């Protein structure tokens, strides 16, 4: 996985709570067997009208947010289904960072596995970012994961908390499976002690 | 020190712990066609094998047709995903219950009914409703596709210890109030993110009154409260459900297993990180009015107004939800007319759910209301066969319900079972998100007897006005 150290980019605001993974990537696009190419379907039902034309009302279709790489969101972003297609679609569309007061658990794990940084900030700070983003066309942020800071050009500077394990995984772009396989001997030892009734057997 | 059920499950499964992160051993991995193809492809690219095919079981359920299975699947992309699962299971030696296998069904229905789900296990699946299996005193949670690959390759997952929340179910379950209403009542109380970061343990005097299937319905929707896992301590109800199931331990192994399972209860005085009480005596049959499961009122209630919400973000969310649902504030729930009824999903497609729905149809002696299309989709072939042995299919069919083949069906509409734009559905599923059952479709979540009654009346009605045998059929 590509390491995440620092990122600077355009911010797009998505001002609604409980954005679920069905909204991020609707089910008709989950039938593909690849990991790539989901960006075109991101927020499909909001982004496109029934005719297939872009919906001019939807925030990501506005010209000022074209090329956004940082998504500003509300509480409980990514709730619902465990589909990893949601972070695949967000990343493929171009998002590297999502900022919100809270995220759903499974979505958080899935994002981490795909090198997307989720930044949790208190509600007041998120409100302030929404305000700045809406007031300033071309509003950009710089996110520094090494120092856990967010800055804008108008002098805003806030720090954020992140789980140290997640931070290291992102900074180094670590691959979980190879890291786990270093413990192969311990896994085998654990298996040797497992009670037999935990392994399903037909009579 | 006194330990909670979850503490015990956690300790048993730690392979190694470092940096506040533990490597957790996974006892059972359930696989389906939608979230696994990229994981198997990852193994192939890295030249890895499935470490424990004997602890891995696959089924196909999400995009499978619920009509005649002898016909080819119409959608070529869905057909390819199904084919890919068959090919992957063959290549990696994973047992698969395909469309024609007697064990086929929704992944969260077949795990328990086959006796694969047992107390004390860690259970994962690339599906958020894996929380269902916690009903047995297992630690069961949904994972993403990268994690599916990780479990296939290593039979473990790195985890940070979650917090615990005791959900104390107090009081007595009133007539007409089901397990579905308990969990909707909880979500109404704590919110759709109230359980985020927590494992829920359901305790209190109501627990012993609940059947295994009712406990499954409750744990199933723990994720709709934000909790990755919900659980009940195993008891005699659990053991008698499992005894004799195809994969359940047998003979001496059964005795040893039960002796161990009996130790899986929270110790007196064990500390939880949070606690919430829910008095089930005060609950009523619920109907959701909005676009998340926390937007819910009793059937006797009215559609709320955005002004009822003080928080500006919530008020705006309510406005959006009412616009999407095409509902006016103040409308009595019983005045809302419906076009479709869906009885099914991993939440409510088991035999007791079907019995409760059929009981309503039998007692009322009516047909599905004109203009309403109603379908019943059993959770598995085993459920379907049992229902047919009990004659439930005949009750449904004679009243005008469609009786279909098992699968996830219209819960998420990956197969052809979807709502048309603007259609309104009484659904026993778990999510009323925008577009969940089809673009522009409007979903109202209810219990199986409430869904059956809505089908017959063409609108939501309070099932408590009739004298139904709802509890008797759950035994």
Q: Which two tokens stand for residue B255?
A: 């005795």
Give the Cα separation of A32 and A39 in Å (integer). Answer: 13
Q: Is residue B168 less than 8 Å (CB to CB) from chain A?
A: no
Read off the pLDDT band of A203 (50, 70, 90).
Answer: low
* Number of C-beta neighbours around residue B151 at 10 A: 27
DSSP type of residue A116 = P
**Measured between alpha carbons, how far is residue B307 from residues A123, B317, B325 in Å?**
21, 11, 17
- Number of other CB atoms surrounding residue B328 within 10 Å: 11
Instruction: Say if residue B474's pLDDT is above 70.
Output: no
Query: Does the structure's ipTM exceed the value 0.90?
Result: yes
DSSP, residue by residue, B380-439: BHHHHHHHHHTTHHHHHHHTT-EE---SSGGGTT-SS--PPTT-EEEE-SS---TTTTST
Q: Is B317 on the interface with A (CB under 8 A)?
A: yes
CB contact under 8 A, A50 and B41: no
> CB atoms < 10 A from the CB of B62, how many?
26
CA A85 to chain centre: 11
Contacts of A80 (CB under 8 A, 6+ apart): A20, A21, A22, A104, B128, B431, B433
Residue B473 has pLDDT above 80, yes or no: no
- How far is residue A135's CA from residue A64's CA, in Å, rounded to a whole number? 12
pLDDT at B29: 98
Q: Kindly report the nearest CA distance between residue B39 and chain A, in angstroms.
A: 9
C-alpha triplet A29, A77, B305: angle, nearest 5°: 105
- Give tens-digit pLDDT for B32-88: 999 999 999 999 999 999 999 999 999 999 999 999 988 889 899 999 999 999 999
User: What is the arithmetic mean of pLDDT over A33-55?
Assistant: 96
Chain B interface disruption, residue of A15, A18, A113, A190, most B CBs within 10 A? A18
Residue B471: its pLDDT value, please? Answer: 80
Judged by a CB distance cut-off of 8 A, whether residue B81 touches chain A is: yes
Confidence check: pLDDT of B138 > 80: yes
Can you list the positions of beta strands (E) in chain A? 6-13, 70-72, 97-100, 117-120, 140-144, 149-151, 157-159
Task: Count CB-CB contacts under 10 A for residue B235.
Answer: 17
Query: Which of A82, A120, A165, A203 would you mutate first to test chain B, the one with the most B CBs within 10 A?
Result: A82
Q: What is the pLDDT of residues B367-401, one digit of tens each?
A: 999 999 999 999 999 999 999 999 999 999 999 99
Sign of CA dihedral B229, B232, B238, B241: negative
d(CA B154, CA A28): 31
Give the three-class secondary structure for B345: coil
CA distance B352 to chain A (A): 25
Residue range B309-327: mean pLDDT, rounded: 95
CB nearest B193 (choices: A27, A79, A196):
A79
What's B135's DSSP letter?
A: G
Q: With a cut of 90, say whether residue A2 has pLDDT above it.
A: no
Contacts of A107 (CB under 8 A, 6+ apart): A21, A77, A78, A79, A86, A87
Asked if A89 contacts A25 with a C-beta cutoff of 8 angstroms, the reply is: yes
Report the C-alpha gap between A141 and A155 in whole angstroms: 11
Q: Which band of pLDDT confidence, cut at 50, 70 and 90, is reported for residue B475?
A: low
pLDDT at A174: 87
Residues of B with CB below 8 A from A80's CB? 128, 431, 433
Please say whether the dihedral angle defined by the alpha carbons of residues B173, B463, B433 and B135, taken in this order, is positive or negative. Answer: positive
Please say if the pLDDT value at position B472 is more than 80.
no
Question: Looking at CA atoms only, how far is residue A163 from chain B in angstroms?
Answer: 10
Q: Distance between alpha carbon B66 and the CA centroid of its chain, in Å?
A: 18
Q: Where are the beta strands (DSSP E) in B253-378?
A: 274-279, 286-288, 296-298, 340-343, 373-376
Query: Could you give the maximum distance between any two Cα atoms of chain B, in Å?
Result: 63
Alpha carbon of B229: minimum distance to chain A alpha carbons (Å): 11
Question: Are residues B455 and B475 in contact, defined by beta-carbon separation less than 8 angstroms?
Answer: no
């Amino acid at each position: 996985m590509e390491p995440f150290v620092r990122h600077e980019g355009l911010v797009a605001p998505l001002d609604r709570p409980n954005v679920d993974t069905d909204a991020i990537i609707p089910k008709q696009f989950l039938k593909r067997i690849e990991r790539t190419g989901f960006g075109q379907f991101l927020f499909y039902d909001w982004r496109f009208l029934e005719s297939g034309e872009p919906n001019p009302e939807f925030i990501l279709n506005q010209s000022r947010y074209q090329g956004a790489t940082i998504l500003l969101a509300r509480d409980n972003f990514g709730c619902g289904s465990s589909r990893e297609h949601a972070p695949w679609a967000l990343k493929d569309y171009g998002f590297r960072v999502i900022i919100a007061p809270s995220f759903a658990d499974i979505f958080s794990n899935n994002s981490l596995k795909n090198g997307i940084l989720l930044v949790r900030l208190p509600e007041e700070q998120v409100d302030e970012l929404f305000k700045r983003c809406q007031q300033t066309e071309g509003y950009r942020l710089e996110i520094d994961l090494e120092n856990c800071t967010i800055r804008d050009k108008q002098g805003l500077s806030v720090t954020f908390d992140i789980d140290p394990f997640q931070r290291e995984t992102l900074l180094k772009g670590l691959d979980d499976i190879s890291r786990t396989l270093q413990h192969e001997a311990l896994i085998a030892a654990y298996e040797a002690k497992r009670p037999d009734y935990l392994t399903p057997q037909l009579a | 020190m006194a330990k909670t059920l979850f503490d015990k499950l956690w300790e048993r499964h730690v392979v190694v712990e470092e940096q506040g992160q533990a490597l957790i051993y996974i006892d059972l991995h359930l696989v389906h066609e939608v979230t696994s193809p990229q994981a198997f492809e990852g193994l192939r690219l890295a030249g890895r094998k499935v470490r424990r095919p004997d602890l891995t079981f696959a089924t196909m359920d999400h995009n499978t047709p619920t009509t005649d299975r002898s016909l080819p699947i119409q959608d070529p992309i869905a057909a390819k995903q199904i084919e890919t699962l068959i090919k992957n299971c063959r290549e990696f030696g994973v047992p698969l219950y395909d469309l024609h296998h007697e064990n086929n069904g929704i992944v969260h229905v077949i795990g328990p009914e086959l006796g694969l789900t047992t107390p004390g296990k860690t259970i994962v699946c690339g599906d958020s409703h894996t929380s269902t299996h916690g009903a047995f005193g297992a630690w069961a949670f949904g994972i993403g596709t990268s994690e599916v690959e990780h479990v296939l390759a290593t039979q473990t997952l790195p985890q940070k210890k979650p917090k615990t929340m005791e959900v104390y179910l107090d009081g007595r379950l009133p007539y007409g109030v089901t397990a579905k209403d308990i969990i909707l009542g909880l979500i109404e109380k704590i919110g759709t993110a109230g359980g985020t970061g927590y494992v829920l343990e359901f305790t209190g005097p109501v627990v012993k009154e609940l059947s295994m299937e009712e406990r499954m319905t409750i744990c199933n929707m723990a994720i709709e409260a934000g909790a990755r896992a919900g659980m009940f301590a195993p008891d005699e109800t659990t053991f008698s459900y499992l005894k004799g199931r195809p994969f359940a331990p047998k003979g001496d192994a059964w005795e040893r297993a039960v002796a161990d399972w009996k130790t899986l209860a929270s110790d007196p005085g064990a500390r939880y990180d949070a606690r919430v009480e829910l008095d089930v005596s005060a609950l009523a049959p619920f109907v959701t009015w909005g676009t998340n499961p926390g937007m819910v009122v009793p059937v006797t209630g009215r559609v709320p107004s955005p002004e009822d919400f003080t928080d500006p973000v919530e008020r705006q969310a309510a406005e959006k939800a009412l616009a999407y649902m095409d509902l006016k504030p103040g409308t009595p729930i019983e005045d809302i007319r419906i076009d479709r009824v869906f009885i099914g999903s991993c939440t409510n497609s088991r035999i007791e759910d079907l019995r409760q729905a059929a009981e309503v149809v039998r007692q009322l002696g009516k047909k599905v209301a004109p203009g309403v299309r109603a379908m019943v989709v059993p959770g598995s072939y085993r459920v379907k066969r049992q229902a047919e042995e009990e004659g439930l299919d005949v009750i449904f069919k004679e009243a005008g319900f469609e009786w279909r083949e098992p699968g996830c069906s219209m819960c998420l509409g990956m197969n052809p079972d979807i709502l048309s734009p603007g259609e309104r559905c009484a659904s026993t599923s778990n999510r009323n998100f925008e577009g969940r059952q089809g673009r522009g479709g409007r979903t109202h979540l209810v219990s199986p007897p409430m869904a059956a009654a809505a089908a017959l009346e063409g609108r939501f009605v309070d099932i408590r006005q009739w004298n139904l045998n709802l509890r008797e059929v759950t035994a």
